[in-house]
Amino acid sequence: MNKIDRMIGNIMGKKKGASIAKQHQWKGFSPIKKQHMIKKYPDRDKDGVPNRWDCQPWNPKEQDRRLTKPREVRDTSQTL
């Protein structure tokens, strides 16, 4: 999160974004359920993720920022 995002969050008194659990919950929804939720809950930045599940509700370019990809596991037992 950059300085401007923090300042806006402090001025507006808003939370910094959805928790990792909420972001995982959004990823688990079916496309039909996502469409229903988009209609039911507000989406300030119009990125297709309602504020409740958005890591940065004021930034349309930021998705799943806090989520990390699982590390690739290499098989080192193989010899050339």
Contacts 24+ apart (CB under 8 A), 48-51: 51/18
How high is the pLDDT of residue 6? Answer: 66
How high is the pLDDT of residue 17? Answer: 82
How high is the pLDDT of residue 28? Answer: 93
pLDDT along the chain (80 residues), means of 10: 64 68 91 93 90 85 60 58
Q: Residue 9 has which token pair?
A: 């969050």
How high is the pLDDT of residue 1? Answer: 56
The pTM (predicted TM-score) of the whole model is: 0.57
Q: At which residue do the structure tokens 């290499």 appear? A: 74
**Those residues with Cβ within 8 angstroms of residue 9's Cβ, 6 or more apart along the chain or in another chain:** 15, 16
How high is the pLDDT of residue 79? Answer: 57
Q: Decide if 57 contacts 19 (C-beta within 8 A).
A: no
